[in-house]
């Protein structure tokens, strides 16, 4: 099967940091279908040779193990061309159409990794140039809009020219091996299903913590913030993966129907819950790994009086038979104490305690997304024997854990998130992409939070870089009698 992959935003940060390295990995692993061509599109006046040279220089920033040798690069570069385009000019699309028609590949992927403001223009112009044929697939990067209205507007325009099955909305968290493992864990094993419900689960915590600050993206982040950047998409997709009902089969729509039901079941916000169950924070100066780092308001491209949040913690519930009353806590932020993405499922304590020492201690399942990728099952076991303490009532049980490290177990065979997703687009598999109705529902749910913040002059609570966010985040969860997993 031959394919052309057209990468709009071909000289952008995402192309250099994620997409080209991922395509190279697929090429190296022999999974990139043969007969492929990759066309970088950008405004600059570059020839293909210059573009390849620039890419080779960028590969120097990639982890050594993922960097091509000179020979590998030469082979990979043979697939790559550059086309200069001004995305607002119809003539430039006509020229692109001529380039594509000359080869007439079986599949044409249009990867729109540009500023979101250009999404609708690109789709309209592609259609005007006759490039919306049934063999075309469009990939849209997040953020898809700024709120529900703008998201709908993008989806409406895209739908005018492409069918839903041609549209691949990326949420790269769905491509992470740990997230696919979560589906495998839940729907490939019978063990957890009977326990996966309100009768046995006390609470679920989703944390996506980053050590990095906003880096060079200050201007973008100013108008985005953590709620739009991480919660509306990545964190809610994780919540869906944890909370959804078993789909009737593994087809894309069966999975997406179940995720949509979760989003529709999220407890609606009230003025009270908006005040009590949502914490917004912003990092102040602090230290990461012993090095001083500036506060958010001192970052390049950021307003010194900015109220943009770099941290969000919230509490919600899924109002259905399985989950009613179980708190789901979501927390994400930049410049936190560690890079750590994990989901913690805390089970209820035993209904009747015969070991005093275990009072209040519950079992938990930890799904580690990064930096490690694996599963930990935390249990209590008979500790080292203690001669003074042979009475069961005062026996000291020791916490132990079953630890599955997927990186060690499957190491070399693991496929990175973007690599996996790009191959899925080329193959036309939609399972790990977000449908428009899911995305709109997620926007609908986060919008009251945005509106509430817009009306709240108090602004975000500051936290020192290198900590776990404002203390209000721990206070929020403590009100339910729980604590974040790193505090337990
Ligand atoms: C992106 C956000 O979607 O995800 C970034 O825009 C964030 O702000 C990134 O840093 C985190 O992704 P990962 O895979 O590094 O956890």
For each of the chain's 488 residues, which pLDDT tens digit applies?
899 999 999 999 899 999 999 999 999 999 999 999 999 999 999 999 999 999 999 999 888 989 999 999 999 999 999 999 999 999 999 999 999 999 999 999 999 999 888 999 999 999 999 999 999 999 999 889 999 999 999 999 999 999 999 999 999 999 999 999 899 999 999 999 999 999 999 999 999 999 999 998 999 999 999 999 999 999 999 999 999 999 999 999 999 999 999 999 999 999 999 999 999 999 999 999 999 999 999 999 999 999 999 999 999 999 999 999 999 999 999 999 999 999 999 999 888 878 765 544 679 999 999 998 999 999 988 776 666 656 655 667 788 889 888 888 887 667 889 999 999 999 999 999 999 999 999 999 999 999 999 999 899 999 999 999 999 999 999 999 999 988 77
Can you tell me which atom of ligand 1 is nearest the CA of 370? 16
Residue 230 to residue 291: CA distance in whole angstroms: 26
Is the CB of 171 inside a 6 Å radius of any atom of ligand 1? Answer: no
Can you tell me which atom of ligand 1 is nearest the CA of 173? 14
For residues 386 and 423, the answer to whether their CB atoms sit within 8 Å is no
Q: Whose CA is nearest to atom 4 of ligand 1?
A: 230
Can you tell me which atom of ligand 1 is nearest the CA of 224? 6
Rg, C-alpha atoms of the chain: 24
Least Cα distance to 216 among 334, 299, 118, 311 occurs for 299
| Domain range summary for the chain, segments of one domain joined by + | 3-141, 174-415+437-487
> Ligand 1 pocket check: which of 177, 216, 230, 339 to mutate, most ligand atoms within 8 Å of Cβ?
230
Taking the centre of ligand 1 as the mean of its atom positions, its distance from the CA of residue 225, in whole angstroms, is: 12
Decide: residue 101, CB within 10 A, 0-12 exposed, 13-18 middle, 19+ buried. Answer: exposed
Q: What is the DSSP letter of 246?
A: P
- Supply 459's token pair: 């602004």
The H-assigned helical ranges of 33-69 are 48-59
Least Cα distance to 282 among 329, 371, 214, 328 occurs for 214
Q: What pLDDT does residue 389 have? A: 58
165-168: which pairs have CB atoms within 8 A and are 24 or more residues apart?
165/430, 166/134, 166/136, 166/137, 166/138, 167/137, 167/138, 167/140, 167/433, 167/436, 168/137, 168/138, 168/139, 168/140, 168/421, 168/424, 168/425, 168/430, 168/433
CATH number, domain 174-415+437-487: 3.30.360.10
Give the residue carrying structure tokens 């996506």.
208
Can you tell me which atom of ligand 1 is nearest the CA of 221? 8
Least Cα distance to 313 among 336, 297, 294, 295 occurs for 336
- Supply 332's token pair: 């994400």
Whether domain 3-141 has CATH 3.20.20.70: the reply is no
Is the CB of 210 inside a 6 Å radius of any atom of ligand 1? Answer: yes
Residue 146 is among the residues annotated as catalytic for this protein: no
- Supply 410's token pair: 């499957």
Tell me: the pLDDT tens digits for 52-79?
999 999 999 888 989 999 999 999 999 9
> Ligand 1 pocket check: which of 229, 237, 311, 419 to mutate, most ligand atoms within 8 Å of Cβ?
229
Is the CB of 229 inside a 6 Å radius of any atom of ligand 1? Answer: yes
Backbone region of residue 275 per phi and psi (left: phi > 0; alpha: psi in -120 to 50; beta: other values): alpha
Is the CB of 340 inside a 6 Å radius of any atom of ligand 1? Answer: no
Taking the centre of ligand 1 as the mean of its atom positions, its distance from the CA of residue 171, in whole angstroms, is: 10
- Candidate list 29, 146, 200, 234, residue with the active-site label: 234
For residues 318 and 179, the answer to whether their CB atoms sit within 8 Å is no
Q: Whose CA is nearest to atom 5 of ligand 1?
A: 229
Using alpha carbons only, give the angle 481, 486, 488 rounded to the nearest 5 degrees.
Answer: 45
Residue 21 to residue 297: CA distance in whole angstroms: 32
Q: What pLDDT does residue 391 have? A: 61
Q: Whose CA is nearest to atom 2 of ligand 1?
A: 229
Residue 269 to residue 445: CA distance in whole angstroms: 8
Taking the centre of ligand 1 as the mean of its atom positions, its distance from the CA of residue 251, in whole angstroms, is: 27
- Supply 191's token pair: 């063990």
Least Cα distance to 252 among 104, 474, 447, 431 occurs for 431
Q: Whose CA is nearest to atom 8 of ligand 1?
A: 229
Is the CB of 4 inside a 6 Å radius of any atom of ligand 1? Answer: no
- Supply 248's token pair: 């009737």
Q: What pLDDT does residue 395 have? A: 67
Q: What pLDDT does residue 117 have? A: 85
Can you tell me which atom of ligand 1 is nearest the CA of 369? 16
């Amino acid at each position: 099967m031959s394919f052309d992959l057209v990468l709009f935003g071909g000289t952008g940060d995402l192309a250099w940091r994620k997409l080209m390295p991922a395509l190279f990995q697929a090429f190296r692993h022999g999974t990139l279908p043969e007969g492929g061509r990759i066309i970088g599109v950008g405004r600059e006046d570059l020839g293909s040779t210059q573009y390849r040279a620039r890419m080779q220089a960028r590969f120097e920033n990639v982890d050594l193990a993922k960097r091509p040798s000179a020979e590998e690069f030469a082979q990979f570069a043979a697939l790559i061309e550059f086309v200069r385009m001004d995305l607002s000019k119809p003539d430039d699309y006509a020229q692109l159409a001529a380039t594509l028609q000359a080869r007439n590949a079986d599949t044409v992927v249009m990867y729109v990794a540009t500023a979101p403001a250009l999404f609708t223009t690109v789709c309209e112009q592609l259609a005007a140039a006759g490039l919306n044929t049934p063999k075309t697939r469009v990939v849209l990067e997040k953020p898809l809009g700024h709120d529900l209205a703008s998201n709908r507007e993008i989806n409406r325009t895209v739908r005018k020219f492409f069918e839903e099955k041609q549209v691949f909305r990326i949420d790269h968290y769905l491509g992470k091996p740990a997230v696919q493992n979560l589906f495998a864990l839940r729907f490939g094993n019978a063990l957890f299903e009977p326990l996966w419900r309100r009768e046995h689960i006390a609470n679920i915590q989703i944390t996506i913590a980053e050590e990095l600050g906003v880096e060079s993206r200050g201007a973008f982040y100013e108008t985005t913030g953590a709620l739009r950047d991480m919660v509306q998409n990545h964190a809610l997709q994780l919540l869906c993966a944890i909370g959804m009902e078993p789909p009737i089969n593994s087809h894309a729509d069966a999975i997406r129907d179940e995720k949509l039901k979760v989003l529709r079941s999220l407890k609606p916000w009230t003025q009270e819950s908006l005040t009590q169950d949502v914490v917004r924070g912003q990092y102040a100066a602090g230290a990461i790994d012993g090095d001083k780092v500036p506060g958010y308001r001192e970052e390049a491209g950021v307003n010194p009086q900015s109220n943009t949040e770099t941290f969000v913690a919230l509490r919600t519930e899924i109002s259905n038979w399985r989950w009613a009353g179980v708190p789901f806590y979501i927390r994400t932020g930049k410049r936190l104490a560690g890079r750590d993405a994990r989901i913690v499922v805390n089970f209820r304590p035993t209904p009747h305690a015969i070991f005093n020492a275990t009072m209040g201690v519950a079992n938990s399942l930890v799904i580690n997304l990064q930096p490690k990728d694996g599963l930990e099952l935390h249990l209590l076991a008979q500790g080292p024997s203690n001669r003074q303490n042979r009475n069961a009532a005062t026996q000291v049980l020791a916490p132990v854990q079953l630890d599955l490290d997927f990186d060690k177990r499957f190491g070399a065979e693991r496929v990175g998130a973007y690599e996996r997703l790009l191959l899925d687009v080329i193959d036309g598999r939609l399972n790990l992409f977000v449908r428009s109705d899911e995305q709109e529902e997620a926007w609908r749910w986060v919008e009251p939070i945005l509106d509430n913040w817009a009306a709240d002059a108090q602004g975000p609570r500051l936290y020192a870089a290198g900590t776990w966010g404002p203390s209000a985040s721990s206070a929020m969860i403590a009100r339910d009698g729980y604590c974040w997993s790193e505090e337990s």
